[in-house]
């Protein structure tokens, strides 16, 4: 959420931000609602002040004066109740509009409508050249007994899957390696809830725009699609000591996404599933653009280095305006090479938000001058499973139908260097 004062003083910037992000937002409608809110709030505060004065007067008043003062207080109460009722209605409209106001993208964010217009900034690794006919990850994993997609669909429905035997073992190896890798970079491990309240999703910016992609319980709670949601809310309505910043959290949780609007995309395999697991990097830092940029580059480099250690070819792109979320200032996507698709597919994203999320969540800190400031927030995927298995398995397949284990993972596979048919 943006500060209303900032919005009023920078209407054109907010308007241009909406245009760049291809978001339908009427800044003038918000300003009009705010004008109305301010006017009614002024009346409410004026009447409350008059009530306080009258309350003090009635104590000292004579019997004749008291009657007139009490009548005045009665009229004030009636008027105040009417104003408060009107204010409640206006505040509802104002709050809805405030939640729709987009954050201002960084100047380095390219123009564009969709992910097809994201700008490549880096490419790493050698794309494998097979001297045999390669297979896709579905066939490889099925033949090696690493996964069971047929029974997954039988038990869990569309996009369901089982990871079995060496497939499950490889997933645990990735988790254990990722844990060691990211903790060595100063993060604190946190197992976070997947089942969260609506307020938690509103605070992190996943509502109201993204509700169609969320699973909702009969009790009105939601299953989060990323550990960032709960991790960001951990310090909601708190004032952190400045010396605790930056606060670096490595969140781990199961994640759930309906994949609404993508029913014809990636209907087979592990690219797009309803239930998965993810390590997420989350940072709270001082309210400084320079600090946010620094940690944004750090978060993105963390995931790049993790992928490099596995020797999987990848590229990094800057997301264009139309591929940014409501609150994101800037975002990188890291995409892994998928041989059988002959393309790169997204494995993780790194974003920074300035104080967009922390205003919603009321996360603050006391600066060196003793002034209370909203912290800045950032997040980035550390690694998602099972999606990473797609690239890993297809890139490291052999002519014999086996899968080589990346060297970094062998110690976490009890020394197993290759998954073969048994």
Give the confidence band of 264 by pLDDT, cuts at 50, 70, 90.
low
Please give the pLDDT value at position 34. Answer: 96
What CATH code is carried by the domain that includes residue 125?
Answer: 3.30.930.10
| Beta strands at 330-338 and 343-352: parallel, antiparallel or unpaired | antiparallel
| 85 and 174 co-located in one domain | no
Task: Decide: 351 and 325 in contact? Cβ < 8 Å.
Answer: yes
* Catalytic annotation, pick one of 194, 292, 349, 391: 349
Is 315 one of the catalytic residues? no
The contacts found for 58-67 with CB under 8 angstroms, 24 or more apart, are: none
Place of tokens 């123009």: 111
| 83 and 126 co-located in one domain | no
| 54 and 128 co-located in one domain | no
Task: Decide: 294 and 350 in contact? Cβ < 8 Å.
Answer: no
- Does 108 map to a domain? no
Task: Decide: 408 and 421 in contact? Cβ < 8 Å.
Answer: no
- Does 189 map to a domain? yes
Range in 4-18, 59-73, 211-225 with the lowest mean pLDDT? 59-73
pLDDT at residue 261 is higher than 80: no
- Does 323 map to a domain? yes
Task: Decide: 167 and 138 in contact? Cβ < 8 Å.
Answer: no
pLDDT at residue 422 is higher than 90: no
| 239 and 342 co-located in one domain | yes
Please give the pLDDT value at position 51. Answer: 79
| 167 and 238 co-located in one domain | yes
Q: Report cis status (omega within 30 of 0) of the bond before 201.
A: no
* Catalytic annotation, pick one of 351, 387, 391, 394: 387
Q: pLDDT by residue (tens digit) across 365-389?
A: 999 899 999 999 999 999 999 999 9
Task: Decide: 149 and 142 in contact? Cβ < 8 Å.
Answer: yes
| 128 and 75 co-located in one domain | no
- Token duo for residue 82: 């009417």
* Catalytic annotation, pick one of 8, 185, 272, 301: 272
* Catalytic annotation, pick one of 46, 346, 402, 418: 346
Percent of the chain with pLDDT over 90: 85
The mean pLDDT of 352-366, rounded to a whole number, is 97
Is 272 one of the catalytic residues? yes
| 145 and 86 co-located in one domain | no
Please give the pLDDT value at position 300. Answer: 98
Is 377 one of the catalytic residues? no
Residue 416 and residue 402: Cα distance in Å, rounded?
Answer: 12
- Does 302 map to a domain? yes
Count of the separate structural domains present in the chain = 2
| 182 and 240 co-located in one domain | yes
Q: pLDDT by residue (tens digit) across 106-134?
A: 999 999 999 999 999 999 999 999 999 99
pLDDT at residue 262 is higher than 70: no
| 153 and 217 co-located in one domain | yes
Domain that holds residue 65: 4-100
The mean pLDDT of 225-242, rounded to a whole number, is 96
pLDDT at residue 263 is higher than 70: no
What CATH code is carried by the domain that includes residue 36?
Answer: 1.10.287.40
Full 3-state SS string of the chain? CCCHHHHHHCHHHHHHHHHHCCCCCCHHHHHHHHHHHHHHHHHHHHHHHHHHHHHHHHHHCCHHHHHHHHHHHHHHHHHHHHHHHHHHHHHHHHHHHHHHCCCCCCCCCCCCCCHHHCEEEEEECCCCCCCCCCCCHHHHHHHCCCEEHHHHHHHHCCCCCEECHHHHHHHHHHHHHHHHHHHCCCCEEEECCCEECHHHHHHHCCCCCCHHHCEECCCCCEECCCCHHHHHHCCCCCEEEHHHCCEEEEEEEEEECCCCCCCCCCCCCCCCCCEEEEEEEEEEECCCHHHHHHHHHHHHHHHHHHHHHHCCCEEEEECCHHHCCCCCCEEEEEEEEECCCCEEEEEEEEEECCCHHHHHHCCEEECCCCCEEECEEEEEEEEEECHHHHHHHHHCECCCCCEECCHHHHHHHCCCCEECCC
| 259 and 206 co-located in one domain | yes
Is 349 one of the catalytic residues? yes
| 48 and 191 co-located in one domain | no
Is 304 one of the catalytic residues? no
- Does 39 map to a domain? yes
| 16 and 123 co-located in one domain | no
């Amino acid at each position: 959420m943006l500060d209303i004062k900032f919005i009023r003083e920078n209407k054109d910037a907010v308007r241009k931000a909406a245009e760049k992000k291809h978001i339908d937002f009427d800044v003038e409608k918000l300003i009009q609602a705010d004008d109305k809110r301010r006017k009614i709030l002024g009346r409410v505060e004026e009447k409350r002040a008059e009530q306080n004065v009258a309350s003090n007067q009635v104590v000292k008043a004579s019997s004749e004066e008291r009657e007139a003062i009490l009548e005045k207080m009665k009229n004030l109460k009636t008027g105040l109740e009417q104003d408060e009722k009107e204010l409640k209605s206006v505040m509802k409209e104002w709050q809805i509009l405030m939640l729709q106001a987009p954050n201002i993208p960084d100047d380095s964010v390219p123009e564009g409508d969709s992910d097809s217009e994201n700008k490549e900034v880096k490419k790493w690794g050698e794309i494998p050249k097979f001297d045999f006919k390669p297979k896709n990850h579905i066939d490889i994993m099925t033949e090696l007994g690493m996964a069971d997609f047929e029974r997954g669909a039988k038990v869990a429905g569309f996009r369901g899957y089982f990871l079995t035997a060496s497939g499950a073992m490889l997933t645990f190896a990735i988790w254990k390696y990722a844990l060691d890798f990211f903790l060595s970079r100063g993060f604190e491990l946190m197992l976070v809830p997947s089942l969260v309240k609506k307020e938690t999703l509103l605070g992190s910016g996943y509502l109201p725009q993204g509700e169609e992609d969320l699973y909702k319980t009969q009790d009105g709670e939601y299953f989060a699609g990323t550990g960032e949601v709960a991790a960001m809310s951990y310090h909601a309505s708190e004032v952190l000591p400045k010396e605790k910043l930056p606060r670096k959290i490595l969140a781990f949780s199961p994640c759930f996404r309906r994949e609404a609007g993508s029913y014809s995309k990636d209907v087979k395999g592990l690219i797009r599933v309803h239930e998965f697991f993810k390590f997420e990097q989350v940072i709270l830092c001082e309210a400084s653009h320079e600090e946010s940029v620094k940690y944004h580059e750090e978060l993105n480099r963390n995931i790049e280095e993790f992928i490099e250690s596995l020797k999987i070819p990848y590229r990094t792109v800057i997301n264009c305006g139309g591929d940014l979320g409501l609150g994101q200032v800037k975002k990188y996507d890291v995409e892994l090479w998928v041989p059988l698709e002959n393309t790169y597919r997204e494995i993780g994203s790194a974003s920074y938000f300035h104080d967009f999320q922390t205003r919603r969540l009321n996360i603050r800190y006391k600066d060196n001058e003793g002034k209370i400031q909203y912290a800045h927030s950032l997040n980035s995927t550390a690694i998602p499973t099972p999606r990473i298995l797609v690239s890993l398995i297809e890139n490291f397949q052999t002519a014999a139908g086996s899968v080589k284990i990346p060297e970094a993972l062998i110690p976490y596979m009890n020394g197993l260097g290759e998954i073969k048919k048994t």
